[in-house]
Chain A
Amino acid sequence: MREPDPTSRPSVAVVGCGAWTAVGPGVSALWSAVRAHASGLCPDRRFDSPRFQSAIVGAALQDDTGSDDPAFLLATEALGEARAQAGDLLASLPAARIGLVLSTTKANVTALERLAEGRPCSDPARRHIQGDLLAADLARVHAVQGPVQCVSVACISGLVAIVQGVRMIQGGAADAVCVVGVDVLSAFVVAGFTALKAIDPEGCRPFDRDRRGLSPGEAGAAVVLVRADRAPRPAIVIRGWGGSNDANHVTGPSRDGSGLAQAIRCALETARLRPDEIDHVHAHGTGTPYNDAMEALALRTVFGEAGLSVNGSKGMLGHTLGAAGVVETIVCLRAMEEGWLPGTPGLVTPAEGAPSGLVREPRPATLNHVLKLNTGFGGANGALILGHG
């Protein structure tokens, strides 16, 4: 049923990365924290109130910045870093051949809070409560004149945005695509997760026996995609992807993991890889009891009991929602480039049924193919496979 020769599509490589996360601005800060097994989660006085389940969050920005447009700030800084890393390659392309895909769930929710409360708000900040306008302004500031999209598929948004970027390039709509993920910490989001009783008062502990939930986080993250044959040096490529829906519950994951397993199998199929060719899985790992259990079950369904190495980064960065897929993909890229397995900050005692190959602390490893997973409200599941170009 597929087109006759899907392999004729060009490979797409990542030639630039940028990030601003709870462990500081820049991909170098992110990677240093991964290597040091450090966590950016800490108490934040903005959320030190009975209204919130916990004050422990993954804040990228200081709580006293007072900015009414933190989403634009984080996104534009991350994109600037990614563009700088892509360097001459982007500069050599016509602006009309460069696209941008923004991944966000709440865009500049800070301004929405202010407007709803009757507080002052600048015009740009007001515009950026709409994700598509935030995407358009990022494109304008960064001289991107090709196709622009704003993708929002709950917590799999980042992976979907990367795949949309690949589709733009393979479909001929663009020669390069900047994929940007951003979501910011806000009373809105922390109150929402508090209402759902989904926050761990002691901080996120992915796959841990005593885990109780997630830690809200914020980040801006960006990658620059190009056709692999344009990359100036061997680069990590997007090998495959898959998506699915649990069709089960709006906020709860399926209990049997079948939806996520379906997404993983689709990704393996598009990558033309067998399960035993995956070296490592970077899990969604929210630290919520049901989601981690479901994810472990899905991995066991596809990969068996072979002890495949698995880690999660949300005990370091918090759950950065629409940025999560992009920033966690950057962790995978750096891990493959450096030959170093990331650990799972927050994990102390693995839960019964957790993946047997959980990586607690970082260590050297050769990684040829890495699988990145995300799942989200509304039953959405996403899987992305990275390989060496």
Chain B
Amino acid sequence: MDNLIIAAASRVSEADLPMARLGKRFGRLDLASQLVLLAVEMLGIDFDTQRRDRVGICLAARAGSLATDLEFWRGRDAVGGPSPTLFAYTLPSMAIGEIAIRHRLTGPNLCVVGSDVVLAGAVDWLRRGEAEACVCVACEVVTPALAGLIGVPPVATAAAVYVQRGGVGLRVWEENDRDIASLCAVLCGHNGRN
């Protein structure tokens, strides 16, 4: 079987969002989806060269969608009722849909809340032949409003890797490559991309 290759890696934080040029819809997305889309964009993958039905998407939503949940529920008494747009983003996996739409990726999806175990999921897809490549993203959004409720400090970051069967890239995937954020911290330069 081909080696599994980490073809690209990136990481972004909320401070990077002003530089994003990702179209009109971007500003209407929740913070998690914005971070995830920017991290995927910074991978620099040319999806036109990929079979889009053979590219999977894995997301580790470290804090689920709690920040958006809180924002949605605090707007429940707004004139006209709570926002239907925001309600859609109260699902932890919604950023997967945004990646899929932007890059027209129709392969399988996995979203795990809490611990980041999605690299193992992606590797399983590739080994079984259920996908030929996978966009793997870890995202953590804890807004100041949420931080007080769950007792953790505020954070807004995302890290992404692109894993594929064979080809060239940053390096071969290794058995102890389990956490996307840690992997990206090793692989990414100061500009957040490699």
> What is A's interface to B at a CB cutoff of 8 Å?
1-4, 6, 51, 105-107, 109, 112-113, 115-116, 126, 129-133, 135, 149-154, 156, 160, 164, 167, 171, 187-188, 191-197, 242-251, 259, 262, 266, 270, 376-380
B170 at the interface (CB under 8 A from A): no
Contact status A196-B87, CB under 8 Å: yes
Given A112-B73, A377-B97, A380-B97, A152 and B124 contact (CB-CB distance below 8 Å): no
A100 to chain B: closest CB distance in Å?
13
Lowest 9 CB-CB distances: which A-B pairs, in order?
A132-B114, A378-B97, A2-B129, A243-B108, A192-B87, A195-B84, A245-B100, A247-B100, A131-B113
20 residue pairs from A and B, CB less than 8 Å apart: A6-B129, A116-B70, A116-B74, A130-B66, A130-B150, A151-B111, A151-B112, A152-B92, A152-B111, A152-B113, A154-B91, A195-B84, A196-B84, A243-B56, A247-B103, A250-B97, A262-B106, A266-B130, A378-B98, A380-B96
B109 CB within 8 Å of chain A:
yes
Bound complex: CA A379 to CA B97 (Å) = 6
Among B6-14, B16-24, B57-65, B180-188, the one that faces the other chain is B57-65
Chain B residues with CB below 8 A from A376, complex form: 91, 93
Name 5 extra pairs, CB < 8 A, besides A3-B1, A380-B93.
A152-B64, A246-B106, A266-B130, A377-B97, A379-B100
Given contact pairs A3-B1, A130-B113, A152-B113, A247 touches B105 in the complex (Cβ within 8 A)? yes
Question: With the chains together, A126 CA to B151 CA distance in Å?
Answer: 11
Given contacts A3-B1, A191-B82, whether A247 and B112 have CB atoms under 8 Å apart is no
A-B interface pairs (CB < 8 A), number: 172
> Which residues on B sit within 8 Å (CB–CB) of A187?
76
- Set of chain B residues within 8 Å of A115, measured between Cβ atoms: 149
**Interface: B81 (CB within 8 A):** yes
Contact A3 B109, beta carbon cutoff 8 Å: no
Nearest Cβ distance between residue A384 and chain B, in whole angstroms?
A: 13
Most buried by A among B76, B88, B106: B106
Q: Is B53 interfacial (CB 8 A cutoff)? A: yes
User: Which residues of chain B have C-beta atoms less than 8 A from A126's C-beta?
Assistant: 149
| Distance in angstroms between the alpha carbons of A116 and B77 in the assembled complex | 13
**When the two chains form their complex, are residues A191 and B76 in contact, meaning their CB atoms are under 8 A apart?**
yes
Bound Cα distance from A247 to B106, whole angstroms: 6
Question: Closest Cβ of chain B: how far from A3's Cβ, in Å?
Answer: 6
Known contacts A2-B128, A132-B114, A191-B81: does B64 contact A243 (CB below 8 Å)? Answer: no
| Chain B, residue nearest A196 (CB) | B84
